[in-house]
Amino acid sequence: MTQVKTNRFIALITLIAALGGFLFGFDMAVVSGIIEPVKLQYGLSSSQEGLFVSCALLGCIAGVAFSGYLSDKIGRRKVLFIAAVLFLVSAVGFAFSTSYAVLIFFRVLAGVAVGVASNVSPLYISEVAPGRKRGALVTYYQLAITVGILCAYLSNYFILKHAAAYTGAESGIWFQLFVTDAWRGMFLVGVIPALAFTSLLLIVPESPRWLVRYGRTDEAMEVLRKVSGEENAVVELKAIQEAAAQQKGGLADLMRHPLKKLLALAMILTALSQLSGINGVIFYGPTIMKSAGIVTSDALFYQVILGVANTLFTFIAILKVDSWGRRPLYLYGSLFSALALALTGFCFLTDITGWLMLGSIILFLLFFALSLGPLKFVISTEIFPTHIRGTALSICIMTMWVADWLVNLLFPIMRDGLGIAVTFFVFAFFCFLSFLYAKSKLMETKGKSLEEIEKMLT
């Protein structure tokens, strides 16, 4: 294949795999617009509301728990297809749910899909991407998450506006889905990307590294020709085979040196990334902005602003991660994230409200999108050998979900108990801790093949 065709093929399969990230972001963010109407329609108590919001996390943990092992056994592509089908079924099922119990079931099912996608999509992209482009291509997954979040906010916003302004005949299934029970329509919109993901995966090849591991060398060579070109394919195949010949496999490998130290590195960086408070800022954004003196009755509109900022800033990471390198981006990004959060806390502490405070929050989103956000996926998919990469990544992603759960659980408690200024100082502390840890432990891996990284680290 010519270089142009190779680049197009890489871009195509990356975008298809990244749809898992889009659905991840969409599914987790769309719930922000339906909490109140569901609570009113089904008369939910506080505990039932809490279960409705958090039950998807149980599905996420379950999805991560089995997807790593399963992707090592049956292949990355097949497990992505399972996630796509789960996204499709859960979107339709939720839209037509008839009781609170059924709602919970499909939220958990959607969570399983999110857990699988959050693990296997970046794993697949890292294994098909050439070394010189891998950082940027894996970062497309993080971009897809932010675009999914933004699309969920926009979709919720316009569906609610349409429902409020609707003057047509009050009958029919579409009237119920998008007017009387507009929250159903919000979830039903997810059918569109879920169908696209399910259909497009049919043209995506299996990971060449997984194929080599199971002795399917000819198929692996065919894929490598498409993603690396004829000449590079031969060299890459040889390197993959040499690495595979030295691998024994088994979860016990992760408990031995040096993999044990690499797992600790990836888990700590992942946890600190989420303890920066990013989900608190995203999901409680309207509350924070109202506290900053930017008063509005339309909370979803301000969520759209944060979603746009988060998406645009992720483009910078895509452009720079393979030229600037992982280590410099992580160090500068985590340090300036800490400073931006500390500035936000200082504004609250001294009652400096308005656009200065909004600017400090947007600065945090900028530096997070440059570093802590995408690089946890890039690093975690690069540093482990192929035979154990799926399992190792699932442990790292599990760490992410546990940290997310802690932030979502503790943010309102800290805000009301310690005060919002102290809450932001705590988040700033974790960003600074991330800077110190990365400065001490994080190595540079840009431009190297996965096999070269494996030799360097082990």
- Residue range 263-269: mean pLDDT, rounded: 88
Give residue 342's pLDDT.
Answer: 92
Give residue 35's pLDDT.
Answer: 75
pLDDT-derived band at 197, boundaries 50, 70, 90: very high
Give residue 450's pLDDT.
Answer: 60
Give residue 406's pLDDT.
Answer: 79
The DSSP output letter for 442 is P
- Residue 75, pLDDT > 60, answer yes
- Residue range 53-64: mean pLDDT, rounded: 82
Give residue 446's pLDDT.
Answer: 66
Q: Which amino acid is at 220?
A: A
pLDDT digits 0-9 by tens, 160-184: 887 777 766 666 677 767 777 888 8
Domains located in the chain, CATH noted: 1-204 (1.20.1250.20), 247-458 (1.20.1250.20)
pLDDT-derived band at 300, boundaries 50, 70, 90: low
CA contacts within 13 A on the Cβ side of 456: 14
Q: Which amino acid is at 32?
A: S
- Residue 297, pLDDT > 60, answer no
Q: Which SS3 state, helix, strand or coil, does residue 206 take?
A: coil
Give residue 195's pLDDT.
Answer: 94
Average pLDDT of the chain to the nearest whole number: 81
pLDDT digits 0-9 by tens, 9-51: 888 888 899 999 899 889 878 887 777 788 788 887 766 776 7
Asked if 117 and 24 touch (Cβ cutoff 8 Å), the reply is: yes
- Residue 84, pLDDT > 90, answer yes
Give residue 292's pLDDT.
Answer: 59
- Residue 274, pLDDT > 60, answer yes
pTM for the full predicted model: 0.77
Quick count: other Cβ atoms within 10 Å of Cβ 243?
22
